[in-house]
Amino acid sequence: MAISERSLLSVVVPGAPFNTLLSRVPQALAELLRNLSVPERQVGRELTAMSPMTVAATSSRKVLGCLNQYAFELEVDFQYNPHRTLLERELWLSENISSAIRYNHPRDLALELLAAKRSQ
């Protein structure tokens, strides 16, 4: 799982095979952003901005707490909704409010941040 520190918007990809993980995260993010109706030009800009990508541990307690919460929620969701796609799970997570972002939805905050970038 990859998570935006600012919006808590999350991308969920299978961990295996690990050697292709870095190429699969941007693809999954692009699909998620398109499903949130982000304009294609902006999707491209976001992908460019996150390149090159590295995998690292977070020092953010907010992100770590949300990662743990989302991992728990996904585990339960896999049990009760085994046929959902990863994209459906990402969209579901994007609708969960979080106190870490002042009781906003990650989807709404991500779209707000992206709209602010468009107006610059």
Q: How confident is the model over 5-19, as a mean pLDDT? A: 94
Tens digit of pLDDT for each residue in 40-49? 999 999 999 9
Tens digit of pLDDT for each residue in 35-69? 999 999 999 999 999 999 888 889 999 999 999 99
Tens digit of pLDDT for each residue in 78-100? 999 999 999 999 999 999 999 99
d(CA 119, CA 22): 30
In the structure, what pLDDT confidence band is assigned to residue 119 with cuts at 50, 70 and 90?
confident
Phi, psi of 85, deg, nearest 5: -80, 165
Q: Which of 30, 40, 56 is nearest to 9 (CA)?
A: 30
Residue-level pLDDT at 62 = 94
DSSP letter at 23 equals H
Answer whether 100's CB lies under 8 Å from 40's CB: no
Going from N- to C-terminal start, the domains of the chain cover 2-118
pTM of the model as a whole: 0.92
Residue-level pLDDT at 54 = 83
Q: Which of 118, 76, 116, 117 is nearest to 96 (CA)?
A: 76
| CA within 13 Å, CB half, 48 | 6
Residue-level pLDDT at 120 = 77
